[in-house]
């Protein structure tokens, strides 16, 4: 099974730039790359920060952009999103009994859990008792699970960024839940940090996807300022076989040279060029 993980597309009202670039053009290019090279994808999951200012016209643009894709798309909201506006545009978007954009589906025997970690008027992540109940119920009733959310639920050793991780009072309960069900959770996937960060937490592997826009530069000493740069964007391709996962980072907007090997793998002769 192949899953496409895209994150932090930060769409604006079409025509308005974001961070010095056109987020719509970037997103379109990412989608074109997906449909050209990965039409066999089972799902495209976009882990939040769908609209930078949470605007109606930005969500409408997103709706148009994904309308005719050959791969089903699943949407998760992030700290830049506006839940009511998002829901008003995506009227058929499933939500939980409390109106959170929590939804789930079983894909090839694995329960995909799409978690809403957004708090009101804050960039930090939230995981309140109601959402805890929803996640626990899902984890309890499934055989295998894979969790997608926007915020990093753990601190990442990036003091400035960690200020907008899941808030401290919610990190413990989230971790407790992951530890309790670690044996059946294959992976945790998130965005938010605009950087590829991989690791293991509470007994479960995790990976954050880059943004399709600007990237953050990991600064393990910076305590105040988030640092970003127009590094090359990417999305992830997850190759999933049972509970094995392989993650490829696809630099879909790379315009530089692409080099190909000129010798067979079993040709050990030193090329003449190298000796000159
Ligand atoms: Fe973001």
Cα 195 to Cα 172: distance, rounded to the nearest angstrom: 24
pLDDT at 246: 98
CA of 210 to the centre of ligand 1 (A): 9
CA of 81 to the centre of ligand 1 (A): 10
CA of 53 to the centre of ligand 1 (A): 11
pLDDT band at 263 (very low <50, low <70, confident <90, very high): low
pLDDT band at 260 (very low <50, low <70, confident <90, very high): confident
CA of 17 to the centre of ligand 1 (A): 15
CA of 267 to the centre of ligand 1 (A): 46
Q: Could you state, in order of their start, the residue ranges of all structural domains in the chain?
A: 2-275
Answer whether residue 266 shows pLDDT above 90: no
CA of 184 to the centre of ligand 1 (A): 29
We find that the CATH architecture of domain 2-275 is 4-Layer Sandwich (3.60)
CA of 111 to the centre of ligand 1 (A): 25
pLDDT at 196: 98
How far does CA 200 lie from the centroid of its chain? 17
What are the tens digits of pLDDT across the range 183-192? 999 999 999 9
Average pLDDT value for the chain: 95
More confident residue, 263 or 23: 23
CA of 244 to the centre of ligand 1 (A): 28
The DSSP-derived string for 16-48 is --BTTB-HHHHHHHHHHHHHHH-TT-SEEEEES
pLDDT at 275: 63
- For the chain, give the percent of residues with pLDDT over 70: 97
Cα 271 to Cα 276: distance, rounded to the nearest angstrom: 9
pLDDT at 107: 97
pLDDT at 276: 63
Cα 208 to Cα 169: distance, rounded to the nearest angstrom: 22
CA of 172 to the centre of ligand 1 (A): 23
CA of 236 to the centre of ligand 1 (A): 16
CA of 114 to the centre of ligand 1 (A): 17
Answer whether residue 262 shows pLDDT above 80: no
Q: Please name the residues in contact with 70: beta carbons below 8 A apart, sequence gap of 6 or more.
A: 35, 39
Helix (H, G, I), strand (E, B) or coil at 105: strand
Answer whether residue 274 shows pLDDT above 80: no
What are the tens digits of pLDDT across the range 39-62? 999 999 999 999 999 999 999 999
CA of 54 to the centre of ligand 1 (A): 12
pLDDT at 98: 97
What are the tens digits of pLDDT across the range 113-169? 999 999 999 999 999 999 999 999 999 999 999 999 999 999 999 999 999 999 999
CA of 40 to the centre of ligand 1 (A): 27
């Amino acid at each position: 099974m192949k899953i496409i993980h895209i994150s932090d597309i930060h769409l604006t009202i079409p025509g308005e730039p974001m961070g010095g670039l056109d987020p719509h053009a970037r997103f379109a290019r990412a989608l074109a790359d997906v449909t050209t090279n990965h039409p066999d994808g089972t799902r495209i999951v976009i882990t939040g920060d769908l609209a930078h200012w949470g605007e109606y016209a930005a969500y409408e643009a997103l709706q148009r952009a994904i309308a005719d894709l050959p791969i089903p798309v699943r949407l998760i909201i992030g700290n830049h999103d506006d839940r009511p506006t998002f829901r008003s545009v995506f009227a058929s978007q499933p939500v939980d009994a409390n109106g959170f954009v929590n939804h789930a589906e079983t894909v090839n025997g694995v329960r995909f859990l799409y978690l809403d970690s957004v708090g009101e008027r804050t960039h930090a992540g939230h995981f309140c008792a109601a959402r805890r109940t929803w996640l626990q119920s899902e984890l309890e009733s499934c055989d295998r699970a894979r969790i997608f959310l926007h915020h990093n639920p753990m601190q990442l050793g990036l003091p400035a960024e960690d200020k907008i991780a899941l808030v401290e009072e919610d990190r413990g309960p989230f971790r407790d839940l992951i530890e309790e069900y670690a044996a059946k959770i294959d992976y945790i996937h998130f965005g938010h940090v605009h950087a590829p960060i991989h690791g293991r937490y509470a007994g479960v592997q995790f990976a954050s996807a880059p943004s399709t826009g600007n990237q953050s530069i990991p600064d393990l000493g910076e305590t105040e300022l988030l640092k970003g740069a127009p590094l090359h964007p990417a999305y992830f391709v997850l190759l999933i076989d049972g509970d094995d996962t392989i993650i490829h980072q696809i630099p879909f907007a790379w315009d530089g040279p692409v080099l190909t090997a000129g010798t067979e793998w079993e040709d050990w002769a030193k090329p003449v060029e190298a000796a000159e």
